[in-house]
Structure 1
Amino acid sequence: MKGQTAAAAVGNRFSGKVAIVTGAGSGIGRAIARRVVAEGGTVLGVDISGDGLVGTASSAGERMSTLRADLTDPGAATDVVASCLDRYGRIDVLGNVAGVHATGHATEITVEHYRQVMAVNLDAPFFLAQAAIPHLLATSGNIVNVSSHAGLQGVPYAAAYSMSKGGLVALTRSLAVEYLKRPLRVNAIAPAATNTPMAAAGTFPADVDLRLLGRLGGHRGRTEPDEVAALFAFLGSDEARSVTGAVYAIDNGLTAS
């Protein structure tokens, strides 16, 4: 039933495994961090919000530690991976979840706006993957990128966001093919509207054309963060050992329709 969480159906798929989860301070990242810990894993949660990380860690339990980092900093990726290795000695899963959502007319997007969206949504996952891959190969690990339905279809008033999420889909597939013959899997999840603080804070231009937005309306409501976390738990675990290069839409049929 819609509104129920997926957290009830947990197993032990991450016992002995270590995951880095970015964006762990709220929303989907928080739900994923909690899910991995609930299934026996250890999590390094990364976010720019220290308060958000404290809130997640307090509910996740002692197998989660935190690291405040600004992922727009090109050097942050190396620091995050080094911190995980210092604390736990290994990396099994890289969850690139952190994201920023910004809307506006394409002609009004500033350079600063564009650079921030790209830095968080696309640059950071690339550089984190680059830093983590040697260690993921050592553990036969995997990467799960959280993209968006905006990376799979045209979304008005979100040009930079859609570009960044489409790029993340391309990055997922490219890495998956590059490492087909080596012990690394790379997959992506593409949620549509999800009940998160980021989605709740979203706004559109005052002169928005509702006819353009209407085609994006789902018929079955919003997705819950725990539902995305449940899919992450499958893709990030050994149960998905034959899955690589896949992009899973979790959008109540939006992209299909």
Structure 2
Amino acid sequence: MSELSGKVALVTGASSGLGAAVARLFGQRGATVFGVGRDEQRLAAVFAEVPGGRYAVADIAGAQRCREVVEQCTAELGCLDILVNVAGQHAMRHTARVTDEEWERDLAVNLNGPFYLSRAALPHLLEAGGNIVNVASIAGIEGQAYSAGYCAAKHGLVGLTRALAVEFTAQRLRVNAICPGGMLTPQVTGFTLPEGADPNLVMRVASPRGLSEPEAVAKLVAFLASDDAAAIHGAIYTADNGKTAG
């Protein structure tokens, strides 16, 4: 078991899906978790199962709110050892019909937020000898139909992970990313196809093994965040039931 005892972890997207699974698992493994999400009722329900956890209702798309979240976490809990950027959004759209606002929102949530949070957290993580785990997607290493904004942002998040890993190679910080495939989360199970979309193109993203439980993927996040992964830096792990194996 990857132990996280005594660590303070900030986890975004903590109100549902993978973020909620990560928050619960980190709490079970001894971490003090500061969760961030947009739905206060769901956050409260999740953190009723996270011993000693705290949470903040926030939209991580803006730089100022990301700074405030990091400041609140460190003020309340005294330090920050782990940042897990889980929050994301994905809506399938015909690219020719994507509005400026939809494109900008895709980038804001899936890429800008993780950058703003990482930038705000870096001084604390460097002091603690901590780490960042970014949750990208297999859309960050391959193309997916009707997902231009999501793919662009997740490719960017993979690039951000590698850029930070190189920049901080000689310092007390680890930065890694995971690229999950389809998971049994509301974002995936509740998706709808754009009108007139070709379902054969959409099904190219599916693995014959089906969808993963978020709790299974959370275990990979916990490992990378733990001292058991001390030698892992700048890595991009897939958790996709073999979808991108070849």
Give the superposed CA RMSD: 1.0
1:187 aligns with 2:180: no
Aligned to 2:18: 28
Aligned to 2:76: 87
Post-superposition offset of 1:12: 6.3
CA distance in 2, matches of 1:225, 1:172: 22
Q: Is 1:36–1:233's contact at 8 Å kept on the other side of the alignment?
A: yes
Aligned to 2:96: 107
Partner residue of 2:108 out of 90, 114, 119: 119
Q: Is 1:136–1:142's contact at 8 Å kept on the other side of the alignment?
A: yes
CA distance in 2, matches of 1:50, 1:209: 37
- 1:11-50 deviation per Cα after TM superposition (whole angstroms, max 9, x unaligned): 4611111000000000000000001110001000000111
Q: Is 2:33–2:50's contact at 8 Å kept on the other side of the alignment?
A: no
Match for 2:202: what amino acid?
A: L
| 1:52-67 map, 5 Å | 52-61=42-51, 63-67=52-56
Aligned to 1:129: 118
CA distance in 1, matches of 2:187, 2:101: 19
In structure 2, do the counterparts of structure 1 residues 254 and 225 end up closer, same or farther at CA, with 3 Å as the change threshold?
same
Q: Is 1:21–1:44's contact at 8 Å kept on the other side of the alignment?
A: yes
Q: 5+ unaligned residues in a row in structure 2: which ranges? A: none
Match for 1:47: what amino acid?
A: G
Match for 1:167: what amino acid?
A: G
CA distance in 2, matches of 1:236, 1:104: 34
CA distance in 1, matches of 2:189, 2:242: 21
CA distance in 2, matches of 1:59, 1:48: 18
CA distance in 2, matches of 1:107, 1:81: 37
CA distance in 2, matches of 1:156, 1:121: 17
Match for 1:229: what amino acid?
A: A
Of 212-221 and 125-134, deviating more is 212-221
1:50 aligns with 2:50: no
| 1:209-248 map, 5 Å | 209-248=198-237
Q: 5+ unaligned residues in a row in structure 1: which ranges? A: 1-10
CA distance in 1, matches of 2:215, 2:172: 28
CA distance in 2, matches of 1:55, 1:95: 20
Match for 1:21: what amino acid?
A: V
Of 64-73 and 235-244, deviating more is 64-73
Q: Structure 1 runs of 4+ off > 6 angstroms?
A: none
Q: Is 1:12–1:40's contact at 8 Å kept on the other side of the alignment?
A: no
CA distance in 1, matches of 2:120, 2:164: 13
Identity score, percent: 45
What is the TM-score normalised by the length of structure 2? 0.98
- 1:189-224 deviation per Cα after TM superposition (whole angstroms, max 9, x unaligned): 100110001112211112111232232221101011
Q: Is 2:27–2:33's contact at 8 Å kept on the other side of the alignment?
A: yes
| 1:67-78 map, 5 Å | 67-78=56-67
Q: 1:83 is paired with a residue of what secondary structure?
A: helix
CA distance in 2, matches of 1:144, 1:52: 23
Post-superposition offset of 1:74: 2.1
- 1:155-184 deviation per Cα after TM superposition (whole angstroms, max 9, x unaligned): 000000011111000000000010000000
What is the TM-score normalised by the length of structure 1? 0.94
Of 205-214 and 80-89, deviating more is 205-214
Q: 1:190 is paired with a residue of what secondary structure?
A: strand
